[in-house]
Every structure is written in C-alpha cells, then in structure tokens.
A = this chain, B = another copy of it.
Amino acid sequence: MADKTQARRTPLSRDRVLRAAVALADDVGIDSLSMRTLAQELGVVPMALYKHVSNKEELLGGMVDVIVGEIGSPEPAVDWKSAVRQRILAARRALLRHSWASRVIESRATPTPTVMAYMDSMIGMFLAGGLSVDLTHHVMHALGSRIFGFSQELFDAPRDLDPQRPALGEMTTRYPHIMQIASANHDRHSVVGSGCDDQFEFEFALDLLLDGFERLWRLGWSSTGHRADRL
C-alpha cells in the first residue's frame, strides 16, 4: 500500500519506466513482462506507459539501451586485440546480469542510437589498432553477437549423465558422438550434472577469432582479391 502511494507520487518518466522494466524482466523473466504487468508494477494504468514509450518494441529497445549503458567505456590497452577482448568480456559480464538481454538483443529489428554508438566505438578500436576499413568490416560480421558478449549456443552436452537412467543406453546408440563428448566432460568434472563451462567456451571461440583477425592483419589481407570475380 505504501509502495503504491510512493509510486503514484513519483512522476513517471521514460527512465523510470525503463528501469522498472529491466528490474521486472530480471525478476519474472522476459516472457512475463507485458505492458499490463509493467503498468501494475508501477502502480499506473497500462495506457500511462504509452506517453513514455510509443509501443512495446520501443520499450524493449530502451531496455537494451540500459544494459548497453552498463557495459561502460573501454579501458586503455596497449594493443587492439587485448583492448577488444577486455571490452567484449565486460559486455559479457553486463549481459550475464540480465539473462533475458541476449534474447531481446537478437530479436530486435533495428538498432537504437545507443547500440549504433556502441558498435561504432567497437569499430573505432580496430581502426585505431591499424586494421584496414575492409578487414574491420568483415571482422565485425565475423564477431556477430559476440560484440555484445554472447553467442548462439545451440550445442550443449547433456548435463544429466546418471548411468542409472534407463534412457542412457538408448541415447548412446542414437547419438554415439554426442555421448562421447558428454562422457569426456563428465569424467573431467567428476560431478554429475556439471554441463559445459560457458565462460571457457566463449573465450575459446573469441580468442580463436581474434587470433585469426591478427593473422590476417599481419598478412595485410584484403577482400578485394576474393570477391573480384563478383564485381
């Protein structure tokens, strides 16, 4: 009751709407965030939100902007590679605080100015390091969602490898190779249900890409040769 009065007294603002939306998504999950539940949380009628965000799409865009704001500025570094690496891992830390964020970022159609600015500064780090405009372009594409600190993880070795489970035998005949990886993983951790080390996998792929970029950079690689036939 006191909260509701408080909420009524504090005037709504775009910033307050966005922060409440982020907090609510953190709490109940992005699927349960609706214009109606958000309005209720703020103690206002649903329509009151539409004065601060033009629709739900724009609300989600604003929520992404809040998270991108949490990434912070790049730390000064000697070389472009470690500068980019540190920045991307900082982005990852920000994203991990909001489990819904990666799904919202990937589902959004057009980037907001804040997201554009983040991408622009990332490009700037490569160019400042001496990579050509051409190479930087392809590098940005190759990183894809990794610039924001996440990647599309479709593969996950089964967490549940209890040998007692009757389905295990069937799994091994149906997916022999997946089970090979799952067993190896299981042996290493010596704990049932440990799954994969997401942070390790992320850094493995990131470093593989960064090393590849560096190699092309040192070779003075350019795409013109590759695509000359298509011009």
Interface set of A (CB-CB < 8 Å, partner B): 103, 105-107, 111, 113, 116-117, 119-121, 123-124, 127, 133-134, 136-138, 140-145, 147-148, 151-155, 157, 174-178, 180-181, 184-185, 188-189, 196-197, 200-201, 204-205, 208-209, 211-213, 216, 223-224, 226-227, 230-231
Q: Looking at the assembled complex, report how far the CB atom of A55 sits from the nearest CB atom of chain B, in whole angstroms.
A: 15
Check A154 against B117 for contact (C-beta < 8 Å).
no
Check B205 against A144 for contact (C-beta < 8 Å).
yes
Check A145 against B154 for contact (C-beta < 8 Å).
yes
Q: Looking at the assembled complex, report how far the CB atom of A209 sits from the nearest CB atom of chain B, in whole angstroms.
A: 6
Check B137 against A188 for contact (C-beta < 8 Å).
no
* A181 contacts across to B, CB distance below 8 A: 123, 133, 136-137, 140
Q: Looking at the assembled complex, report how far the CB atom of A65 sits from the nearest CB atom of chain B, in whole angstroms.
A: 15
Check A178 against B116 for contact (C-beta < 8 Å).
yes
Check B226 against A200 for contact (C-beta < 8 Å).
yes
Q: Looking at the assembled complex, report how far the CB atom of A20 sits from the nearest CB atom of chain B, in whole angstroms.
A: 25
CB-nearest residue of chain B relative to A124?
Answer: B177
